[in-house]
Amino acid sequence: MTDKPLVAVTGASSGIGEATARAFSAAGHPVLLMARRIDRLQAMNLPNAMSRQVDVRDRAAIASAVQEAEAQFGPVDMMFANAGVARLADIGRQPPEEWDEMIDINTKGVMNTAHAVMKGMMDRRRGTLVMMSSIAGRKVYPDHTVYCGTKFFVHAVSESLREYLSAYDVRVLVVSPGVIETEVLSGVLDQQTLANYKANKVKMGGGIGADIVADLILNAYQLPQNALVQEICLTPTRQSY
C-alpha cells in the first residue's frame, strides 16, 4: 500500500490516459483505471491498481468504479476525464451517428466523470479535475466540425467549473494537446480525412510522445493545492496551426 492519494483515469487503456496512469503509479499513487478495453488495463499490471470496464456514457458505471476504488484506497484526489473519440470527417458527408458518438463520449462522458468525484472533493475541500480537451477546443480545423464543438464544450465547462470550484479549493486543469503519438487516428473512419491528417503529421515531423503530456500533468498536480496550472497546451514545435 501507499500513503499517497488515489488517482483515477478514464480512457486509461492507451495514449495519454495510459501514460498518465503509468506516471502517477511510478510516483507512488494508487490508480483506478477505467476503459472499455479492460484486458489492456489488466495487462499494464500496475501496483495498487484497480481496473474496471467502464464506458463513460454510463454514469452509474463510473460512480460504481469510483466507489469501489475509494473503499480500498481512500478518496479520489485527482480525476482525469480523458476518455474521448475523434470521428473526423468532412461535415457534408459525415454520418450523423458519428456526431452522436462524439457528443455522447466527449461531452456527456466528461460531465459524468467529473460528477462522480466532484461532491466528495467539495466536501473535503481538496481535489483536482483534469479535463481532456484539445487544441481543437481553441481553434477550428477542416474536417473537425463536431469534434471541435465537443472540445470547445470541454473548455467552456471547465472554465465554469474552475470558477465554481475555486471557492472549495478544488482545482480544474484543462489539457489541450496538438498532435500527439496516440491511437486517435484509429477513430477516423473517413479515408480522405485520414490521409490528409497523416500527410500533415508527416510535414511537422510527427507527434509528441504521450509520456511528455503525462509528465506535465503530474508536475502540475504536484504543485501545492493553492497553485493551479489552468491549462496545458502542448504541440510539436513544427505544428504551426
Helix (H) or strand (E) segment spanning residue 159: helix 145-166
Closest CA to 215 of 238, 232, 194: 232
**Residue 163 predicted with pLDDT over 70:** yes
Residue 240 resides in a domain: no
Residue type, 135: I
Give pLDDT, residue 130: 98
Closest CA to 196 of 88, 85, 122, 123: 88
Comparing 226 with 204, which gets the higher pLDDT? 226
Per the prediction, the chain carries an average pLDDT of 94
**Domain total of the chain:** 1
Closest CA to 61 of 12, 101, 115, 17: 115
**Residue 75 predicted with pLDDT over 60:** yes
Give pLDDT, residue 195: 79
| pLDDT tens track for 86-145 | 998 889 999 999 999 999 999 999 999 999 999 999 999 999 999 999 999 999 988 999
| pLDDT tens track for 18-73 | 999 999 999 999 999 999 999 999 999 999 999 999 999 999 999 999 999 999 99
Residue 201 resides in a domain: yes
Give pLDDT, residue 153: 98
Give pLDDT, residue 58: 97
Give pLDDT, residue 54: 97
- pTM of the predicted structure, to 2 decimals: 0.94
Cell of 113: 466523470
Comparing 51 with 195, which gets the higher pLDDT? 51
**Residue 188 predicted with pLDDT over 80:** no
Cα separation of 77 and 123, whole Å? 12
Residue 1 resides in a domain: no
Cell of 215: 509528465
CB 40 within 8 A of CB 14: yes
Cα separation of 16 and 12, whole Å? 8
Give pLDDT, residue 235: 94
Query: Which distant-in-sequence residues (6+ apart) come within 8 Å of 166 by Cβ?
Result: none
Residue 104 resides in a domain: yes
**Residue 184 predicted with pLDDT over 80:** no
Give pLDDT, residue 48: 97
Residue 151 resides in a domain: yes
In the block, residue with C-alpha cell 491498481: 49
What average pLDDT does the segment 165-189 reach? Answer: 88
Helix (H) or strand (E) segment spanning residue 215: helix 210-221
Give pLDDT, residue 185: 65
Residue 152 resides in a domain: yes
Phi, psi dihedral angles at 172 (to 5 degrees): -130, 115
Comparing 184 with 68, which gets the higher pLDDT? 68
Closest CA to 36 of 89, 82, 86: 82
**Residue 1 predicted with pLDDT over 60:** no
**For helices 145-166 and 96-103, what crossing angle results, to 10°?**
20
Give me the CATH number covering residue 187. Answer: 3.40.50.720
pLDDT above 90: percentage of residues in the chain: 82
With residues binned 3-state (H G I as helix, E B as strand, rest as coil), the percentages for the chain, rounded to 5, are 50, 15, 35
Residue 239 resides in a domain: no
Confidence class of residue 191 from pLDDT cuts 50, 70 and 90?
confident
Domain interval for residue 151: 6-234
Cα separation of 29 and 6, whole Å? 6
Residue 173 resides in a domain: yes
Cell of 53: 470496464
Closest CA to 121 of 25, 225, 219: 225
> Could you write out the DSSP letters of every residue in 121-142?
HHHHT--EEEEE--GGGTS--T
